[in-house]
Amino acid sequence: MANISCDYGQALENFIMKMVRNADNDVAVMPEAMEDICGLLKIAKVNIEHYKNVSDAEQQKGDIAIVYDNGNADLSREVGFSVVSGDGTIAGYRAYQQKDDIDWDENCTKRITTFLNMLHVFCDRSRLMKVADYLAFHDKELETYNIAHFVKTVNVAIAQKKIGKYNACYFNIRDFSDVNNMLGRNKATDVMKKYVNQLSGMLSKDEAVCRMGGDNFTVLFYKENLEKIKNYLDSADVECGDDGKVISIRSAAGFYVIPDDCPDVSQVMDCINAAKNVARSNADVSCVFYNDEVMMRDMERRKYEQLFKPAIKNEEFQVYYQPKVSLKKYKVSGAEALCRWFHDGELIPPIKFIPVLERNKSICTLDFYMLEHVCRDIRSWLDSGKEVVKVSVNLSRCNLGEPQLVERIIATVDKYNVPHEFIEIELTETTTDVAFSELKKVVFGLQASGISTAVDDFGIGYSSLNLISDLPWNVLKIDKKFLEVNQPSTAHNYLMLKHIISLAQSFGIECVVEGVETVEHVKVLKENNCYMAQGFYFDKPLPKDSFEQRLAVNM
Ligand code: C2E
Ligand code: MG
Ligand code: MG
């Protein structure tokens, strides 16, 4: 018969108190609390077993923590206890008799089980706290750090007066929705994970890449790592799939060179966020460093975002028409609709607000507003017997994801009963395969309905010859950069212009050159067999009534 002589109740209470006081620590490192109770119950050894998978016997064996071992266990005589948690994890506890002890009676076994129960409660609590701690500071999906970790790390660095050693950065992966469309969500998430892990792999444990949500991340890194992080975010290759295929990923990143006296984390967040927003608004720039101008631009961005909805409602956007002139007859043979925003007596140019609207897809609303107003104008010109020319409307790439895009365009044109031959849609080149296939759908769809299509700004960015060979464009709008007279590239520009025109024409595509500003430009166009020009040499974008007057004398 086992003889547990001292006050068992008191000992259990002491044990619990010790465990509570040590709640933040792992039970396995609490030999003192264990010693008391094991001594009292004449237990030689306690195993704590956490298994991930109940059916996996091997794994069970390998995952045993011995909490207390006085080296005197009789391994053939044990009391066991185990529980399955909600997530399928098993926690097992075994206590062994001392070698020289007499057999435990029922009462003793009960007490030991009670003690093991208590142990379970505390072990589980400690485990849950670890899980909670992990969840609080990690992103579940990518298993990277999250915003809470970023805030904590910055706060600790400020408290330790080490913040000046760091820089911070906020980045957004460009066109990640295209990667999603191309690979599907799961594979795209894997790509994102690899992209972020590669970046984390370049840093030490005191630095961190943290997910803010979606495809937005922050990085806290030592100042000496700036160049390599900039280069990585500018462009990095990531393997996607098992076939070794690699995709190139670019990010838009805002950087803040943190000063020694940085007061708090909100200053860091505000600065990197403002710089990131400016980087996002500019497709050609991957890194923007915070300064006062960046803050101004970010405030402006927020202002435009807020003003947009009421501005649409109040019809603050106006259609300006810039004539396209035929160089054979010097007549207006078409026009481009360009947007002008009048707010509080101020004219806000497109360069300021279009990139802002492209960021949150408001541009799609504006594009359809423009199309609607153009159709309304054409309808009124037709009704009053005025001369009408084909009008091209710009459609931002952001519209390309919309499944019913072609139908919506046609429905808008038909709503005003405008013959399709009077409408042209200008689209710019795309950057990814997915966007290209969307573009293809739209161009073919419009073509079939008799609405013509134009490639806008051809020659800047990602021009590819597939773009003109694979799609049935009606018009190629050649960017004004080819008319730039800046030695030594003028000769090159003109040579490119000549060949682009001849290539397009051999595909049966009409060319319009943008930015024709001088008589010299007109001459160059004619020499190269291009007879459609758009530019200040002939006309600036005109308000509706001036354009009507211009058309009235169009002979
Ligand atoms: P874009 O579609 O390439 O339009 C041509 C731009 O070149 C217009 O600028 C026009 O005013 C300008 N331009 C025309 N002739 C000349 C010239 O001889 N010299 C110079 N230096 N510039 C000339 P704008 O109106 O400021 O518009 C800028 C861009 O904003 C447009 O480029 C277009 O991408 C975008 N945009 C304008 N309206 C809309 C719209 O309704 N929807 C969308 N999605 N984008 C629009
Ligand atoms: Mg255009
Ligand atoms: Mg253009």
Q: Are residues 167 and 230 in the same domain?
A: yes
Q: What is the CATH number of the domain that holds 93?
A: 3.30.450
Q: Are residues 204 and 74 in the same domain?
A: no
Domain boundary among 119, 137, 155: 137
Cα–Cα dist 453/378, whole Å: 18
Question: Contact 367/312 with Cβ under 8 angstroms?
Answer: no
**CA nearest ligand 1 atom 45, residue:** 394
Q: Are residues 128 and 163 in the same domain?
A: no
Centre of ligand 3 from the C-alpha of residue 338, in Å:
10
Q: What is the pLDDT of residue 321?
A: 98
Atom of ligand 1 nearest to the CA of 358: 44
Would you tell me how many other CB atoms lie within 10 Å of the CB of residue 532? 20
Q: Are residues 324 and 429 in the same domain?
A: yes
Q: pLDDT confidence of 5, banded at 50, 70, 90? A: very low
Examine residue 404 and state whether it is found in any structural domain, yes or no.
Answer: yes
Q: pLDDT confidence of 435, banded at 50, 70, 90? A: confident
Atom of ligand 1 nearest to the CA of 536: 18
Q: What is the pLDDT of residue 86?
A: 65
Examine residue 65 and state whether it is found in any structural domain, yes or no.
Answer: yes
Examine residue 281 and state whether it is found in any structural domain, yes or no.
Answer: yes
Q: Are residues 110 and 149 in the same domain?
A: no
| Structure token digits, residue 314 | 């109040």
Cα–Cα dist 555/552, whole Å: 8
Kindly state the average pLDDT of the residues 492-496: 85
In the chain, what percentage of residues exceed pLDDT 90?
Answer: 58
Q: pLDDT confidence of 467, banded at 50, 70, 90? A: confident
Instruction: Tell me whether residue 452 is exposed, middle or buried, using C-beta atoms within 10 angstroms of its C-beta: 0 to 12, 13 to 18, 19 or more.
Output: buried
Examine residue 307 and state whether it is found in any structural domain, yes or no.
Answer: no
Instruction: Select from 282, 375, 394 the residue to mutate for testing ligand 1; criterion: most ligand atoms less than 8 Å from CB.
Output: 394
Kindly state the average pLDDT of the residues 421-432: 88
Domain boundary among 77, 111, 137: 137
- Residue that the structure tokens 């359809």 belong to: 368
Domain boundary among 92, 115, 137: 137
DSSP characters over 470-517: HS--SEEEE-GGGG---TTSHHHHHHHHHHHHHHHHHTT-EEEEE---
Centre of ligand 2 from the C-alpha of residue 396, in Å:
9
Would you tell me how many other CB atoms lie within 10 Å of the CB of residue 381? 20
Residues measured by CB to lie within 5 Å of ligand 2, the ion: 394, 426, 456
Q: Are residues 399 and 545 in the same domain?
A: yes
Find which of 92-106, 113-127, 473-487, 495-509 is predicted with most confidence, using mean pLDDT.
495-509
Q: What is the pLDDT of residue 155?
A: 95
Q: Are residues 452 and 400 in the same domain?
A: yes
**CA nearest ligand 1 atom 22, residue:** 515
Instruction: Select from 304, 354, 397, 486 the residue to mutate for testing ligand 1; criterion: most ligand atoms less than 8 Å from CB.
Output: 354
Q: Are residues 43 and 176 in the same domain?
A: no
* Model confidence at 323: pLDDT above 90: yes
* Model confidence at 123: pLDDT above 80: no
Centre of ligand 2 from the C-alpha of residue 426, in Å:
6
Would you tell me how many other CB atoms lie within 10 Å of the CB of residue 235? 11
- Residue that the structure tokens 């291009």 belong to: 530
- Domain with 334, as residue range(s), is 317-552
Question: Contact 49/82 with Cβ under 8 angstroms?
Answer: yes
Q: Are residues 193 and 274 in the same domain?
A: yes
Atom of ligand 1 nearest to the CA of 426: 2
Cα–Cα dist 329/554, whole Å: 10
Q: Are strands 317-326 and 331-343 parallel, antiparallel or unpaired?
A: antiparallel
**CA nearest ligand 1 atom 12, residue:** 515
* Model confidence at 544: pLDDT above 50: yes
Q: What is the CATH number of the domain that holds 437?
A: 3.20.20.450
Chain segment 27-55, per-residue pLDDT in tens: 544 566 677 778 777 888 877 776 655 55
Q: What is the pLDDT of residue 204?
A: 95
Examine residue 305 and state whether it is found in any structural domain, yes or no.
Answer: no
Examine residue 380 and state whether it is found in any structural domain, yes or no.
Answer: yes
Ligand nearest to the CA of 392: 2
Q: Are residues 382 and 487 in the same domain?
A: yes
Q: Are residues 231 and 374 in the same domain?
A: no
Facing residues of 168 across strands?
220, 256
Kindly state the average pLDDT of the residues 396-408: 92
Residues contacting ligand 1 via CB (< 6 Å): 322, 338-339, 349-351, 354, 363, 366-367, 370, 394, 396, 426, 456-457, 480, 514-517, 534-536, 541
Ligand nearest to the CA of 479: 3
Ligand nearest to the CA of 534: 1
**Amino acid making up residue 65:** A
112-121, 211-220, 261-270, 346-355: which range is least confident on average? 112-121
* Model confidence at 15: pLDDT above 80: no
Facing residues of 220 across strands?
168, 208
* pLDDT, mean over the chain: 88
Examine residue 310 and state whether it is found in any structural domain, yes or no.
Answer: no
Ligand nearest to the CA of 424: 2
Q: pLDDT confidence of 328, banded at 50, 70, 90? A: very high
Facing residues of 173 across strands?
251
In the chain, the number of structural domains is 3
Examine residue 437 and state whether it is found in any structural domain, yes or no.
Answer: yes
- Reduced to 3 states, what is the DSSP secondary structure of residue 437? helix
DSSP 341: E
Kindly state the average pLDDT of the residues 494-507: 91
Kindly compute the dihedral angle of the four CA atoms of residues 454, 457, 458, 463, in this order, to the nearest 10 degrees. -110
Q: Are residues 55 and 38 in the same domain?
A: yes
Chain segment 515-528, per-residue pLDDT in tens: 999 999 999 999 99
Q: What is the CATH number of the domain that holds 246?
A: 3.30.70.270
- Reduced to 3 states, what is the DSSP secondary structure of residue 335? strand
